[in-house]
Amino acid sequence: MKTIDQWLQEAIDRYERLTGHTEQLGESIRTLSTTDITDQCARMAELRREITTHDEKLHELLTFLGGGVLDNPLLGSYQQALRAAIDATERIAAKAQRRKEMLLGEIVAGKKSRHAIAGYNSGTTQQGVLQKVG
């Protein structure tokens, strides 16, 4: 049977892994393909599911132990790890939103360029010269 210290340390380790993974994605999000970003997000979702399962059990144990657990020094470390994971997630969400806006801008610019180019043809009067149609 695990001790409360072991449960807390496991939770801290899980949050630190999630934070590290999130920060790594944040550093490379501009250069990753959408497939790579999707894969990284799937890994983050898997880590969050593991954390949720572990934290549910941990919280049951904390409730069972009551106020005496508040003196455990690992509880403060647990809270810090949780806060770091939340902060990293908020930062990556902001970066993802900026990346999305940038990609949408590129799509719109590409459509405008295609539309503008569609208004020209090679013409038949002079070879190699574009003429405006309409």
Query: Domain extents for the chain?
Result: 4-100
- Token pair for residue 128? 């190699």
Query: How large is the average pLDDT for residues 71-80?
Result: 93
Q: What is the pTM of this model?
A: 0.72
Q: Which residue has the higher pLDDT, 80 or 113?
A: 80
Taking the CA atoms of residue 105, residue 106, residue 112 and residue 114 in that order, the dihedral angle to the nearest 10 degrees is -160
Query: CB-hemisphere CA count at 13 Å for 103?
Result: 12
- 24-60 pLDDT tens trace: 998 888 888 889 988 998 999 999 999 999 999 999 9
Residue 99: pLDDT band with limits 50, 70, 90: confident
Q: What is the pLDDT of residue 84?
A: 97
Q: How confident is the model at residue 113 (pLDDT cuts 50, 70, 90)?
A: low
For residue 31, what pLDDT is reported?
Answer: 87
Average pLDDT, the chain: 85
pLDDT, residue 33, reads 86
